[in-house]
Structure 1
Amino acid sequence: IDAGKAGPGRPEGRLSQTAITPPQASVGLALYRIAHAKRPVIIVGYGARDGMAEVTALAEALNCPVITTFKAKGQISDSHPLGAGVLGRSGTPVASWFMNEADLLIVFGASFSHHTGIEPAKPTIQVDFDRMALGKFHGVHEPVWGDIGVTAGLFRDGLPAERACTDQRAELAERWSIWRAEKEARAAKDNAAGINSALLFRHLSETVPGDAILSVDVGNNTYSFGRYFECDRQSVLMSGYLGSIGFGFPAAMGAWAADTGRRVVSVSGDGGFGQYMGEFTTAVKYGMNITHVLLNNGELGKISKEQRDGEWKVWQTGLHNPSFAEYASLCGGHGIRVEKPGDLPNALVEALAADGPALVEVVTDPLLT
């Protein structure tokens, strides 16, 4: 069919505004619950990423913690007085404590999938711009269909002067203090089988630029990232939860290609990087400034853990690896291998300062995750 001079289609007249205002009745019912809650907690999923300014303002008005799902890690800084970290199996005991003690969950843009760890028995207000996401897995007390930012703003503006909620900031600071002490204790463990993940991600938290883009893979390395890495203003890219091994480095290439001017750092295990390690030559060819941190424990550690948890024999999870640092150098990039804990800080600084792609291969203990 000859299209003549029609040309390509354009978005005008095809896309509507997405800032959906929720029904007034839904807002009123939600505000009633919020006003009477003594220990409300806000939980944000990845779907709340564009409304975080309004969500944070609501939390500050309520003096209540903001917990994130794993996929939403970094949407509020871990240094914010109300940031409570990640919920779920890849999260922190800080987040779990406040959800368990809460008498109301105000959930913005979260899927409620099993991995999120959101307790279905708690009184819950669920806000989502996708109507089909409301009550998808189980009924909630107040489902609210609306744009995240618009709805959070309406909640904040509608708060009554008299409300039951307590200021949870001091308790939150105390819980962070307990968790950071526990992280230091874990970082000090040494089985003489490699560097442990708590120590690695402590140094990474201290070294990575505050505005970096971080892409992470799947597996134990990613669970440890969720648990131990403390976000400042970094943006975190992840594929989801399981079944997408190898995502980390290709995602970093995509982030670099977006030309944001921000440093790009990716994290993976040896199994994940092995899926797409040939792409390192592409990164060298185009001079991509990507720093890749590779946790090499010589196995598919997550699968080994699942086998041990099932009380089965660990079977066929070992890997036959090259020297990934030498491989990076042979490709024309910058490769560093770290076997001793004391060498880790300088290696990370060196890799971040390199021109072009750099890879830090860290020999890690598969049991200290």
Structure 2
Amino acid sequence: MSLDTETQPLDWYKVGHVDDLPEGRVKTVTARTTTLCLSHFQGQWAAMDNRCPHQGGPLGEGSIEQGVEGQCWIRCPWHGWDFDPLTGAPPGGHEDTGQQLYPVEIRDDEVWVGLEAEPPHERTTTDVMAETFEAWGVRRVFGMVGHSNLGLADAIRRRTAEGAMSYVAIRHEGAASFAASAYGKLTGVPAGCLSIAGPGATNMLTGLWDAKVDRAPVLALTGQVQTQVFGPGAFQDIDLASAFDAVTRFSQIVLPSSNHAELASLACKNAIVERDVGHLIFPDDVQTISSDKPAGGPQGRVGPATIRAGADDLDAAADMIARADRPFIVMGWGAKDVAADVIALAEAMGAPVATTFKGKGLIPDTHPNAAGVLGRSGTPIASWFMNECDLILTLGSSFANHTGIEPSKPIIQVDFERMQLGKFHPVALPVWGEIGHFAREMAGRVTRHGPDQIAELRERWAIWRDEKTSRLSDESPRGLSAATLFHTLTELCPEDAIIAVDVGNNTYSFGRYFEAKGQSVLMSGYLGSIGFGFPAAMGAWAATQDFEHLRGRKVLSISGDGGFGQYAMEFTTAVRHGMNITHVLMNNGQLGKISKEQRAGEFEVWQTDLVNPSFAAFARLCGGHGHKVTTNDDLRPALEEALALDGPSLVEVMTDPELV
């Protein structure tokens, strides 16, 4: 079918040079957003619709072949359908029943194709939904564009073109969900993670589980096969509703008859209010249905979240604190937004404050009331004060076994989620209420009495710092010690930095040796997923671009060689997007934590060795900065250089797995 070029004005697009396509060949070209099959046959040029009418096969990837009667045809590479190279007509058909043709002109040996003027964009269901995401505060999407999410991706593209959203093109969908999880943990605002159907969607599950168990809001957006082929086993057709059921708070298939704005609103609302995963499944054919419906939004849909503790609970807590001589505060991640109120309460009580590992950094280790991290990744300071205390006041802690809060002690537990109260065992006083409100109420009622625990804190810190200093002299031909690395990083790391840590010995050493001065720390808390660190840093960097109060903060990530290897190619993502991330990689040539656990269990150390490239050289090959550190003398200048750079950098520190 030809185009009437005499009556319709055309926009012309250069699609190549005559030397690009030899006689008797076809190729795929793009003019504007239209994909065409360009053919060069018998000295003539033709451009036709690239999609085979059978199943959309790309004619430009086919070939011109001679039929049994001598006629030459463009043969579709998928299923062998044939078309005339110059008219687009099928065998036995007529010119106006075949592929649509587009005018071609040769100008100074350049090939130009004419298209009708682009019509105005026709609003679609996914435009409605993308606008609704925007209204609910979604500013960032991490993902991979593919064949079953193209309509949705185009709607997101339009929001990014308007400046309403930003997009990060990742290399693996697992990195997208980890990045979105870290973004939600840091900001309390959901980011989107985008995938195709089938394996793209299932790749996101680990990061979504990380978000779910750590209570981070995330919006998962998965493409799906067309509705007409649900069920019988089409290519990449899996039951996504069932696959995502356990990991999501809200999960729905978007159908042609759906209230599209309402589905988008409910996905966002569940993510934000429940601090969980909202999930939408987008069949391919639904994504481009025309729609004139308005977008949704949060107006009138979300109320204030303040829950005030009851007067009787406040009185009982004040009485227990007044009777305690050695009260001890444990601050968890649930208190992250009201840490200043908790610190003010500790100052009024004269009480030490330890944090859970997830809460590391909520009180600076330089603060007079700070006792460091409690538990397996913690300091002997925190353990000493818990052992000596006669009352534990725990605020926003989940009582994970890694933290090891002693259940035999009298415990006041405050949390804004009732199911967290006494979750694993009874406590003396469970208080349902917002932690900041409780801390402010108590600060006005308590007085400091009993022994001077602040003076004891100074003494205990001096003992622990002397111990850490003694470990700085540990040397090994295999590499540096963790104590040396984190001593140096403590001195050099900006006080307002955001630090994403991975899983393994590197994480335990970070918790033990690094002294936080105000940095924000992100980790895979309850899931404990290896590979979290670097994708989480990408999510944190995106948050520094999207939120004014985070702008300008340096982002670091820390991992072992095992963890970084999980998503190493995302370093190219950081280069592509100009992410200002400094990654510190502890390379000991093994899965050190697993080796340690095998020894502790009296097993043979087996299958934990790793074969690694030079990660510093890898970073440079990716287009970033890379520096390999093998001596103590080289450590400080290498870290200083990397931290000063505005872009992705990697410092590979060769470490001894025994010096943790």
Which TM-score tier does this pair reach, normalised by the shorter chain? over 0.9
What is the CA-CA distance between 1:18 and the residue it aligns to? Answer: 1.3
> How big is the shift at 1:2?
7.7
Q: How big is the shift at 1:363?
A: 0.3
Equivalent in the alignment of 1:186: 471
Indicate the SS of the match to 2:313.
helix
CA contact (8 A) 2:349 2:449 kept: no
Matched, 1:131 2:418: yes
Deviations 1:252-311 (A, max 9, x none): 111111122211111000000000000001111111110000000000000000001111
Distance 2:644 2:368 in 1: 31
Task: Tell me the CA shift for residue 367 of structure 1.
Answer: 0.7
> Secondary structure in 2 aligned to 1:42?
strand
- The whole-number CA distance in structure 1 between the counterparts of 2:453 and 2:317 is 20
Which protein shows a greater Rg?
2
Q: Is the 8 A contact 2:324 2:391 kept in 1?
A: yes
Which of 571, 578, 581 is equivalent to 1:287? 578
> Residue 596 of structure 2 aligns with which residue?
305
Matched position secondary structure for 2:366: coil
Instruction: Report deviation, 1:167.
Output: 2.6
* 1:366 partner amino acid: P
More contact order relative to length (CA 8 Å, sep ≥ 6):
1
Q: Does 1:323 pair with 2:614?
A: yes
Q: Is the 8 A contact 1:113 1:137 kept in 2?
A: no
Q: CA deviation at 1:6?
A: 4.9
1:220 and 2:505 correspond: yes
- Structure 2 residue matching 1:245: 3-state secondary structure: coil
| Number of residue pairs aligned between Structure 1 and Structure 2 | 367
From 235, 250, 269, give the equivalent of 2:535: 250
* 2:494 is the alignment partner of 1:172: no
Say if 1:59 and 1:66, in contact at 8 Å, map to a contact too: yes
Q: TM-score, normalised by structure 1?
A: 0.97
For residues 7 and 193 of structure 1, the distance between their equivalents in structure 2, rounded to whole angstroms, comes to 63
Q: What amino acid maps onto 2:603 in structure 1?
A: W
In structure 1, the partner of 2:492 is 207
CA positional deviation for 1:316: 0.3
Q: How far apart in 2 are the matches of 1:60 and 1:206?
A: 26
Match of 1:14 among 301, 306, 323: 301
Describe how 1:1-369 pairs up with structure 2 within 5 A. 1=257, 6-159=293-446, 164-241=449-526, 243-258=528-543, 259=545, 260-369=551-660
- Given that residues 580 and 647 in structure 2 are in contact (C-alpha distance below 8 angstroms), is that contact kept between their aligned partners in structure 1? yes
| Runs of 4+ with >6 A deviation | none
Identity of aligned residues (%): 62
Q: CA RMSD in A?
A: 1.3
Task: Give the TM-score normalised by the residue count of structure 2.
Answer: 0.55
Shift of the 201–335 alpha-carbon distance from structure 1 to 2, 3 Å rule, reads same
Change in 2 beyond 3 A, CA 1:277/1:2: closer
Q: Is the 8 A contact 1:283 1:357 kept in 2?
A: yes
Greater shift, 357-366 or 16-25, is seen at 16-25
Amino acid corresponding to residue 332 of structure 2 in structure 1: G
Shift of 1:10: 2.1
Contact preservation (8 Å) 1:40, 1:165: no
Q: Aligned-pair distance for 1:164? A: 4.4
Describe the superposition over 1:65-124 as per-residue Cα deviations: whole angstroms up to 9, x where unpaired. Answer: 000000000000000000110000100000000011000000000000111111111100
The CA distance in 2 between the partners of 1:273 and 1:218, in whole Å, is: 10
Unaligned ranges ≥5, structure 1: none
| Distance in 2 between residues matched to 1:230 and 1:19, nearest whole Å | 32
Q: Is the 8 A contact 1:217 1:245 kept in 2?
A: yes
Decide whether the 8 Å contact of 1:295 with 1:363 is kept in 2.
Answer: yes
Tell which deviates more after alignment, 89-98 or 50-59.
50-59
Whole-angstrom CA distance in 1 between matches of 2:399 and 2:647: 40
Supply the AA of the counterpart residue of 2:426.
G
Secondary structure at the residue paired with 1:71? coil
Deviation at 1:312, TM superposition (A): 1.2
**In the alignment, is the contact (CA less than 8 A) between 1:328 and 1:335 conserved in 2?**
yes
